[in-house]
Structure 1
Amino acid sequence: MTPRDASAAEGPDQQADGTRRRCAVPGSGPIPDPDGPVPRDSACSPGGTELRLGEHVKRQTAALCEAAGTARDLVRPLLDTALEPLSRLSLLDPPPARSLVSDDHSPVELSLAFTPGAPPVPRVLLEPGYTDDMARSGRIGRGVAERLADRGVLSCARLHMLSDLFLPATPHGPFALWLALEFPDGRPRAKVYLNPAAHGPGRSADTVAEALARLGYGEAFPALRRYADRPGGFLFFALDLGDWPAPRVKVYVAHRDFSAADAAAASRAMPGDHPGRVAEFVGLIAAERRLRRRPLVSCFSFTRACPDRPSGYSLHVPVRDYVEDDRQARDRAVAALHRYGIDSRPLHRALAGVTSRPLDAGVGLIAYVTLTHAAPSPPRVTVYLSSEAYRVRPPRRSAPAASGGGEPGPMMVGG
């Protein structure tokens, strides 16, 4: 997990007792550290009522759908089901758990996936079991997945096939199960993200190997392990569940102290002419040759058409750790969209709808920017947006000092 950041410098949001005033609408300005004192007479909706996490997330998701041109009526009932364990949590209170999904430990992250010549796809990832009790978190998450299966949104067959590997009775690690929903062409699709270290970090590789073998991708593991030998190793194991044209199995690997050339080399696990574009993308988003703060993350995806090697590769660049503020992060995301001939106006609309704060008043709203190659589709650029339900990280006044430490960090791990 990433450490919490210090509060913003003294300014108009400062209260007499030295704490930061919680803003009327989360995401609109700096607030106190969740471990510190929190004023209980704010965190209210525009009508003056106490704001709940579910209301906050639904408002942001509606704004994302509007920016993408997706009907809200499709999204709302599924979001109600997915958010049911979380929806009544008050934003007057500190986060009830140290969720890895977002820097402020919000259990939600949003994203827009952009493909040239097509409308962007809105997506939301959440941690239904928002508790530090990982066994209970896994049970809650699986229960939500099963309720969505009852609605015909997904099938839990592959999840049940792997439950002993990823959802044991006494799990290890910082999370158990995340759930993601996306809405391409008006059709809901679902994914789950599981923890390779559920039986302990020393068994992550064995867990991934066994899971791939059970799903018919055992031959892919030796090549995949070559890219997880550096510190950080396997981060996430993900499954497409439900109505997907070609359901994927995805494995995420963290790369500490990686360069653009290293990222290009990792992408060669998937055949194709994309490595040069991958290296260029690192420079475009991070503006550094070697990333020594929050690490790059590779996602290797597998389908039945290509069971022994990746059929898709995504590189996640943690832009928030390589910029001073979200205005700079937005500009880099826009540059990436334009590089691939993609209209950036939906991103501008999404940012305006998700937060009311100035982009230069914080950093971390734009968490990751990702480039995906999956033949025969054109390259896809995805921009991940933090909910900022509990806290806004203050902007940096200069580029952050490099260090070799830090965790891979909260992220929405789509792709």
Structure 2
Amino acid sequence: MPLALPLATPGDPGSELTAGQDGDALVRRSVLPGGVRVLTERMPGLRSATVGAWVGVGSRDERDGHHGSTHFLEHLLFKGTERRTAMDIAEAFDTVGGEANAATGKEHTCYYARVLDDDLPMAVDVITDMVTSARLDAAELETERGVILEELAMNDDDPSDVVHERFAQAVLGAHPLGRPIGGTPETIRAVPRDAVWDHYTEHYGPRTLVVTAAGGVDHDALCAQVLAALGTGGWDVTTPQAPVGRRGDGAHAGGAPASAAASVTVHRATEQANVVIGGRGLTATDPRRFALSVLNATLGGGMSSRLFQEIREKRGLAYSTYSFASGHADTGIFGLYAGCTPAKVDEVTRLLEQEWERLANDGITAAERERSIGQLSGGLVLGLEDTGSRMSRLGKAELVHGELLGLDESLERIRAVTAEEVRVLAGELAAQPRSMVRVGPFTG
């Protein structure tokens, strides 16, 4: 059976790790001389590949005066380098039928591309050029400032986005994790080009960069391509340096926010009310996260879940209702959501809390446990059928979890969850200070 790939420490320059994976896939990890980490998963028979350039920096890492810079960079790195215009970058991928994009999180940022395996060297060169040599042109920045403000306005017009954003703020308070990833209209309007540049030069470098690729990829060739591209971009990849450590091992300042409870009402002239209740959850590396997955699947993870059956199927009070969880290095959130007619919001809120308390008090049945484990197992396998998911798994294993589990081992950890573990965890989550956020046509 394929074993976990241990990534407990970032490793020294020149270190190598290899682990077989399911389906004859092979994962390799190398630490290059400048501290860049490269992880690949070769998937036999595939003619495509997805490559990602990860920087272990997110919106939580923005200093005062830099708020919104992380999301700004996600946009601006596509706007041109010393070697390429924005049109050159777009044409490079369109010409070969590929696609490129980026994603900003609260703790990391990823720039990625999916192409045919023959076009992987081009993708590596373009993505690396963007990461190392972005111009952050002042005129382009002002243009993109307007684009980002439109993006924020679009999100603010979606009450389901608003309720989740405000919920994170309610639970995490003034902690940096409570800030919106994309910034606010106020911070985006205020952040100057110099602050974005400072954020870029402070956090983007060989020691913070992780390159991951999955599909039809040759590990040694990719390492050589990355080194060459980084050198062309002017980064020092010859001086031996150790990578920056992961969060929680002293590499990043900060800590968990204090527990708090809040009740927030946001007025929107909508036909439907959106409500979320919940509180603090588990960290991303908590060993109980597998029990949390089973808990979440049982409570609100599908059509057979308790929330769906009780609120939608039996009572017809909502079209969409579910539970959710997200974990960070030092804290997490857990919540229950529903969208309903404003006049029914109090009844729906009561049912959300009732089902949560019932799970905490009585636990789950054997049938629910088996059904949830089956749901999670099938979703895990299906979710790893494409190169993008595998590329993302490598990045998160390196930056977040400190280990890469083989598929069989992941399934074993899910199947090992007991009903008692779920009940105890549900009780702990229910005992946390509880926040509620409502968005809709309310006056107070």
TM-score, length of structure 1 as denominator length? 0.30
Higher helix share: 2
Bigger CA radius of gyration: 2
Choose between structure 1 and 2 for higher RCO, CA contacts under 8 A separated by at least 6 residues: 2
TM-score, length of structure 2 as denominator length? 0.28
